């Protein structure tokens, strides 16, 4: 816990430096949090090529709002709230644009399975295939459930911090996670059963 507090104190000190225009402090902050931000955005957007652009927008917002920043919660809570807002706006626009119809997506997925199936079925390929199926199942979850799963599983975030980011109570976060896991189990069951039969 002390290490966590030290990390947060360092983030707050960096934000104070960024507020007076210190670019090296900004570079250090990006270096510290870039992987978590890009990873979360990539998972939230189903590995969209826009992930890195969205991550840049997150850090641009941090830079622009540094003078107004008040450390009322952990810095990562503040950071992932920006991530949440940008990603939710992005997915809304994306679903309105409907760049690719569901039929086309389904066709692409079946073609990919056919290509993968034509290759030698070794363990690493099967693992990659299963990972793709898991990623797709996560991508199909409602936004808040998807973000809850990613923050908990990938970022190992405590419920209290997740509650602030998701604007939910701690008990609502837990039930959101419960629903997300139940949905994932249900959608992955046929694949897991198939994998168990093959092994």
Q: What is the pLDDT of residues 48-79, one digit of tens each?
A: 888 889 999 999 999 999 999 999 889 999 99
Q: State whether 20 and 85 are in the same domain.
A: yes
Compute the Cα dihedral for 178, 181, 187, 192 and give only its sign: negative
Instruction: Provide the pLDDT for residue 36.
Output: 94
pTM, whole model, 2 decimals?
A: 0.74
Q: What is the mean pLDDT of each successive set of 10 residues along the chain, which is 199 residues long?
A: 83 96 96 94 86 93 94 93 93 66 50 49 67 84 92 91 95 95 88 66
Domains held by the chain: number? 2
One domain, residues 189 and 128: yes
Give yes or no: residues 44 and 92 share one domain. Answer: yes
42 with 1, same domain: the answer is yes
**CATH code, domain carrying 144:** 1.10.10.10
Give yes or no: residues 29 and 77 share one domain. Answer: yes
Distance CA 87, CA 75 (A): 18
Judgement on whether residues 88 and 142 belong to the same structural domain of the protein: no
pLDDT at 190: 80
Q: Is 47 inside any structural domain?
A: yes
76 near 161, Cβ under 8 Å?
A: yes
Domain check: are 42 and 12 in the same one?
yes
pLDDT the model gives residue 119: 46
Rg of the chain over all Cα atoms, to the nearest angstrom: 19
pLDDT at position 120 is: 47
The CATH number of whichever domain residue 59 belongs to comes to: 1.10.1740.10
User: Would you say residue 105 lies in a domain?
Assistant: no
User: Quick check: is 111 in a domain?
Assistant: no
In the prediction, which pLDDT does 46 show?
Answer: 81
Domain residue limits at 182: 116-199
- Do 20 and 73 share a domain, yes or no? yes
Residues 6+ apart with CB under 8 A from 77: 161, 164, 165
User: Looking at 35, 66, 99, which one is the last position of a domain?
Assistant: 99
């Amino acid at each position: 816990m002390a290490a966590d507090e030290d990390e947060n104190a360092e983030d707050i000190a960096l934000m104070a430096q960024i507020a007076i225009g210190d670019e090296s402090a900004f570079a250090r902050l990006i270096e510290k949090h870039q992987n978590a931000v890009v990873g979360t955005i990539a998972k939230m957007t189903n590995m969209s090529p826009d992930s890195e652009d969205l991550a840049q927008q997150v850090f641009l917002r941090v830079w622009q709002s540094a003078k107004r920043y008040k450390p009322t919660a952990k810095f990562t809570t503040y950071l992932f709230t920006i991530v949440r807002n940008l990603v939710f706006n992005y997915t809304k626009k994306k679903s309105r644009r409907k760049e690719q119809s569901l039929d086309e997506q389904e066709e692409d997925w079946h073609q990919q399975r056919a290509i993968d199936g034509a290759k030698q079925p070794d363990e690493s390929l099967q693992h990659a295939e299963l990972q793709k199926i898991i990623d797709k199942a996560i991508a199909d979850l409602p936004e808040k459930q998807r973000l809850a799963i990613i923050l908990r599983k990938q970022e190992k975030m405590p419920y209290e911090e997740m509650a602030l980011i998701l604007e939910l109570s701690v008990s609502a976060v837990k039930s959101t996670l419960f629903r997300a896991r139940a949905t994932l189990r249900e959608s992955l069951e046929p694949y897991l059963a198939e994998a168990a039969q093959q092994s």
